[in-house]
Amino acid sequence: MVAIVCSKAPALFVPPKEKIVYHRPHTTVVTPLSSLTNEIGELGEVVRSVLSRLLTRLLELSISFRSIDLNVEQDPEMDWKYVVVKVKLEIDEKALHRHRDSLLKQSYSHLSAEDAKNVLLILESV
């Protein structure tokens, strides 16, 4: 598979190794996906799985991203924790609207309903 990405500062995913490669001016940073998801505790494996599937699909579509933000939230009325995953994509709003449903479907397709309710995936264009 060959991904052609045009960007000043892309981030790409290397699926077999589950590593994120951030290209920034004058430097390249390689981060294992697990280093992001291990920090969020018991929900880390579910989030890693969702992100891995999303980032693999983005690579197939030649869409790069800028950042991934993870925040653990707790519902005040229920004893329920979930992770808000915000991914900033280098794609215009029109293209994001066209691809959003298929990206979300691919990201969650392998999860049980119980696991899926613990991850809120937000895709934004930048």
**Number of compact structural domains in the chain:** 1
CATH number at residue 68: 3.30.300
pTM: 0.88
- Residue 3 belongs to some domain of the structure: no
27, 37 Cβ separation under 8 angstroms = no
DSSP string, 48-115: HHHHHHHHHHHHHTT--EEEEEEEEEEETTTTEEEEEEEEEESS-HHHHHHHHHHHHHHHHTTS-HHH
- Residue 5 belongs to some domain of the structure: no
Q: One digit per residue, pLDDT tens: the chain, 126 residues?
A: 444 555 566 788 999 899 999 887 888 889 999 999 998 889 999 999 999 999 999 999 989 898 999 999 998 888 889 999 999 999 999 999 999 999 999 999 999 999 999 999 999 998
